[in-house]
Structure 1
Amino acid sequence: MFSVLIKSLVRASFIFSAGIIPALGASGPSDQAFWLTTPPQGLGSVQAMAGVSHDDQLLLSSVHGSGFSLSGFWGEGKGLSSLSSSLSLAERDASLFHGNYQRPTHFSGAAFDFLTGGVQFTGGVSQVGAIQTVDRISWFAGATSGAFALQFYRVDGEENDYAHALGLQLRLPVGELQSTFAAAGSDVSSANLRWQLPLGRHLWLGFEVRDGRSSRFGNGEYQRWIVNFSSRQGSQDRLLAREGGTSTTDIATTVVLAAGAVGIALVASSGSESSDNQLRFSTQHDAARNVLNGINPTSVAENLEYGGWVYRNSDNTFSATEPVKGTVDSVSIGSPSSVGAGTATATYHTHAGFDPRFDSENFSFADISLNNNWGVDGYLGTPGSLFKFHHFLTGTITTLGTIAN
């Protein structure tokens, strides 16, 4: 049995070396996931499954026994995972919980599955780390069959229970019903009820109700009702793909639960803005100075521009997004709506290293035009260590001091 295990592990390594590594470097839409699975080879064999999208990568490897399996998984991503739909969290739901959930993250964990009566039971744990946030432990459990899927998640921090979430999905004669609930503390929660009725092979009529409550917003809560027509490829949701009567656990079920555990840990890492570790400053100038002072030496050394957004939090403090790497003469930071939390109030960027081809010590015409079009202020860090400010309402440009270079 040991020799079979070694051979299966080597085979899986070759397959993923040939198939997954090129896919990691491929570009594509962030909502389009690519999956690759090695077929099971019987008892004692190793099976692996990998998912890749624009911001997310996940690899799970599983050893199968008679009616059970033991898995380990690893991965990285950014914000809400496009590899799991188990909690159906939208960006508006996520912003109820956390000031900046779209952070680069890395994770690893393990899971145990066993199969009885056509139902696969899963239990596991994942350690999740992200920038400027303490590591979290995300516990998950689930029961899945061809007719229903039940998920439970609990997120623990260093000192307390951060959050918990529940998910239920049913396949009924009148369509598919999905309900989710996530909460952090007593004052932040999000609930979702969705029903989909198949009208054809790829056409669905959907009805959805969302309810959210949070102390992060002045009005405290929001509700919305959605009715939509949609089409989708494939006839089954991955969570409900299990068919009864099989003798081995389904690795896809484990993958979806593991990805969901990471997502809820990121979204609900704290129940209030005052308790997370996002850096906050009393003024917009201070937030911009701090981020530019930290990234400008790297920008000068690499001769590449870096940029991002300064935004106002719900408590009227200011923070900055993580710097985005650009080219020698430009950086794409997205639109103000891309800021995951708060209200974007200013752009910030550097001008790379000293280069005689560019006027690196001053705002360019494109810099000023972009700020004016978006209606936000702008900050610039130069290779000569100047810290400059463009006020879009008056059009004035001032030097506020110096930063590291």
Structure 2
Amino acid sequence: MAASAVPMGDEYRTRLIYFLCAVAFTAVVFSLLARDRSPAFQPQSSLPEIQRYARDTLSGLQEQSIARNQEYCGVIYEDEAGALHTSEIYEGERAECEFDWGLPLGNHVVASFHTHGGYDFDYDSEVPSVEDLANDVDARIGGFVSTPGGRLWYNDWQEGTSTQLCGEGCLAQDRRYVAAPKEDLALTFTIADLQARGAYGTQPE
């Protein structure tokens, strides 16, 4: 079905409003980093080690997440010896998942992770949501998100960006996604980029 035409003047004003909202949202998020806070925890593990660990963790959750069409989430933490571990895996809902940050003394969270469930046309689930990235920026930890199309994203809290670690099909895919129209996604998104996607009719998780 063809979309209804929008008067050029109205469309311009709407786009301007969305753009200004995205800029304001980004400014609020990054102002959090300017607060007086203790230095962020510096893992002993290298970033590639943490990324490999996260990929293995999400790869093990992907098929179940797709089959049940629900999110699974948790944290990756490091012990005093620098070894990486996975927290309890928490079952979420269709488009949300909450986990417990509590860890025994001497352990430190280095990253969050969650799946995006199964394919659903009504959700923009092939990219992290604004909230996914903003929460990791505020917590000052990395974040990892797997999608129904089999993508793996990394949220870089220092840069404020979400970047594809591996593209479509690198993890298990939902068969419904395989049959759906494909979108040519950027390799990296900022918070403003993700905000703009939500502003134009897609629903972030």
**Same fold by TM (over 0.5)?**
yes
What is the distance in 2 between the residues matched to 1:290 and 1:374?
A: 23
Moved over 4 A (4+): none
Higher relative contact order at CA 8 Å, sep ≥6: structure 1 or structure 2? 2
Give SS of 1:283's match.
helix
Which is greater in Rg?
1
Please say if residues 133 and 162 of structure 2, whose CA atoms lie closer than 8 Å, have aligned partners that are also in contact. Answer: no
Gaps of 5+ in 1: 1-281
Give the structure 1 partner of residue 62 of structure 2. 296
Post-superposition offset of 1:383: 0.7
What is the distance in 2 between the residues matched to 1:316 and 1:307?
A: 22
What is the distance in 2 between the residues matched to 1:352 and 1:327?
A: 9
Partner of residue 143 from structure 2, selected from 348, 358, 378: 378
Partner of residue 339 from structure 1, selected from 92, 95, 103: 103
Give the structure 2 partner of residue 404 of structure 1. 172
Say how many residue pairs are matched. 123
Q: Do structure 1's residue 392 and structure 2's residue 157 form an aligned pair?
A: yes
Please say if residues 65 and 72 of structure 2, whose CA atoms lie closer than 8 Å, have aligned partners that are also in contact. Answer: yes
Give the structure 2 partner of residue 207 of structure 1. none
Give the structure 2 partner of residue 53 of structure 1. none
Taking the TM superposition and a 5 Å limit, the aligned residue runs for 1:208-287 are 283-287=49-53
What is the distance in 1 between the residues matched to 2:99 and 2:163?
A: 23
What is the distance in 2 between the residues matched to 1:317 and 1:289?
A: 16
Please say if residues 142 and 157 of structure 2, whose CA atoms lie closer than 8 Å, have aligned partners that are also in contact. Answer: yes
Give SS of 2:70's match.
coil
The structure that is strand-richer by fraction is 1
Give me the identity figure in percent: 27
Please say if residues 294 and 404 of structure 1, whose CA atoms lie closer than 8 Å, have aligned partners that are also in contact. Answer: no
Give SS of 2:138's match.
helix
What is the distance in 2 between the residues matched to 1:344 and 1:390?
A: 15
Write the letter of the residue equivalent to 2:112: T
Give SS of 1:388's match.
strand
What is the distance in 2 between the residues matched to 1:318 and 1:369?
A: 24
Please say if residues 133 and 155 of structure 2, whose CA atoms lie closer than 8 Å, have aligned partners that are also in contact. Answer: yes
What is the distance in 2 between the residues matched to 1:283 and 1:342?
A: 17
Q: Do structure 1's residue 315 and structure 2's residue 49 form an aligned pair?
A: no
Give the structure 1 partner of residue 124 of structure 2. 359
Please say if residues 295 and 323 of structure 1, whose CA atoms lie closer than 8 Å, have aligned partners that are also in contact. Answer: no
Give the structure 2 partner of residue 174 of structure 1. none
What is the distance in 2 between the residues matched to 1:381 and 1:326?
A: 14
The structure that is helix-richer by fraction is 2
* TM-score normalised by L of structure 2: 0.56
Write the letter of the residue equivalent to 2:171: I
What is the distance in 1 between the residues matched to 2:99 and 2:138?
A: 14
